[in-house]
Amino acid sequence: MFFFDPVYMLYVFIPTMLLSLGVQLYLKRSYAKWSKVRNSTNLTGTQVGEALFQRTNLMNIPLEVVPGQMTDHFDPRANVVRLSQGTASQPSVAAMAIAAHELGHVQQYQTGSALIKARNFLVPAERLSANGFKTVVDIDLLGAFNASRAAFAQLKATRGCIIYVSAGQAYTPYAFQVHVAAAKAGIDMMMRNLALEWGRYGIRVNSIVPGPIEGTEGMKRLANPAVLEQIRRAVPLQRLGTVDDIGQMCAVLASPLASYVTGTVLVADGGQNLEGSALFNRGAEQILKANG
């Protein structure tokens, strides 16, 4: 969900962006510094991972080496930890810290962390608990309403706008996603209601539906290369979306170019919704069968 008003841009958004850039620069500088410092155990990132598997109750899974710098991640679909070349082969402080961080994600998944389950999970409706359903609705729908309600006075004063992030599950049935579908469909209907009620104050309210976006945490963690290629071929435009694709659409919706647009769901998915949910459904069923 996004809000736009000039005061927010000047005093919150721009400073936050500068802070974010500063954090990224800090992380890169910290990595550059500590990747040159040898750790006291003289263990490479791969050896750190192996040692943690031996000394904890975690189930041992493969540790693979991938190209690039700071490309380390845990892929729960393939059940593998992928370490960048520098992390895997160097006995540095940075390599030790990154390897331990990725093993932390393994622990979250293997121990059934509530945060991981709430963020993204496939589950047949007959096995979904009331609490699990409620958790997703609370995060997505109730959270969006609370943020909108809290911002109302500022939005009214500045004639601002709201942009919610929805999903294809809001209008197309996806197997094992009843919790997501209910929450996102609720967001889109709430968007229309607020557009109707708050239009008198000059507040515009819209939703945007992203398709599969490359480079995002969800795609890195939830799709292996073979699956990504299937998804890419299924998109009519024959490519995954980018963060800029979505950012540019949000910029248009928040700008004077869309000053007469409200109560609208803008789909930016390369035409993925035209193919329906069959590919997702088949993949989801295979995943559930593989996981027992």
If we measure between CA atoms, which residue out of 72, 69, 80, 70 comes closest to residue 106? Answer: 80
Distance CA 43, CA 99 (A): 11
DSSP run (H or E) holding 204: strand 204-210
Which member of 117, 166, 220, 289 is catalytic? 166
What totals of helices (H) and strands (E) does the chain contain, helices first? Answer: 13, 7
Q: Are 238 and 232 in contact (CB under 8 A)?
A: yes
DSSP run (H or E) holding 227: helix 225-234
Separation in Å, CA 222 to CA 76, 122, 128, 218, 291: 6, 11, 20, 6, 14
SS3 174: coil
Q: What is the DSSP letter of 269?
A: S
Distance CA 37, CA 7 (A): 44
Q: Report the half-sphere exposure of 61 (CA within 13 A, side-chain side).
A: 20
The structure tokens listed for 29 are: 């500088």
Distance CA 225, CA 222 (A): 10
**129 a catalytic residue:** no
**84 a catalytic residue:** no
If we measure between CA atoms, which residue out of 219, 226, 221, 224 comes closest to residue 246? Answer: 219
Parallel, antiparallel, or unpaired for β 2-4 and 63-66?
A: unpaired
CA angle 40-85-232, nearest 5°?
140
Which member of 35, 92, 184, 207 is catalytic? 184
Q: Are 218 and 227 in contact (CB under 8 A)?
A: no
The residues assigned a catalytic role are 166, 184
